[in-house]
Amino acid sequence: MTTTTSIVKPISQMHFAPGSVVTIHDVTWQEFETILQELGHKRASRLAYYQGTLEIMVPLPEHEIPRDFISDVVKTLMRAKGIRYQPFGSTTFKNQGAAGVEPDACFYIKNYQIMIGRRRLQPNDPPPDLAIESDVNSKTTIEAYESVGVPKVWIYDNRKLTIYLLQGKKYIKSENSQIFPGIPITELIPQLVERSWQVGNLQALEEFEATLKN
């Protein structure tokens, strides 16, 4: 007679290769919260949870470098346009019991003032106005953002920027940015990212800043 033994191992003891995407089904909300606590904040992985499906993503350098650069470009544009903002990095945002997501970068714009000095999110805090993701093709991640209610999500993948705008409870794709009207963001960002691969993030950003001044 053959017996099957289940092996239970904490997520924190599992090692995922860079570039890995692991999907786990039938995860309860309490299990998701436990996994977040177990993994802690100082980690390379990003988590997305939506109605029982958990995705764990471990980025590659080709993911991280555009992520940081695009975030810097957004900050540069907002300063140039006189837009006040508060960055919130890769904070975990939740719709309690239903969804959780960790952007690569995010910004409060409309509600930036009430988020200044915030060390931990409060239950009634709004979601960020803009979330940025690099190299994501996950339906779970998009649905999690919809559930959390993030108004604008930018996803950079395969040299293309896609803008998602929340209309009601669903995202629609847009060619235009409501934050930077009149600027062809979906064309500009890929061009700048490609330039950063050629000359480095700092020089590409300096060139962009010089262009804005002129």
- On the question of pLDDT at 1 being above 60, the answer is no
List, for residues 177-201, the tens digit of each pLDDT value. 999 999 999 999 999 999 999 999 9
Q: Is the pLDDT of residue 5 over 50?
A: no
∠ at Cα 48 (159, 99), nearest 5°? 130
- Domain 60-213: which CATH class? alpha beta
Residue matched to tokens 């779970």? 140
pLDDT digits over 91-119, tens only? 999 999 999 999 999 999 999 999 999 99
pTM of the predicted protein model: 0.87
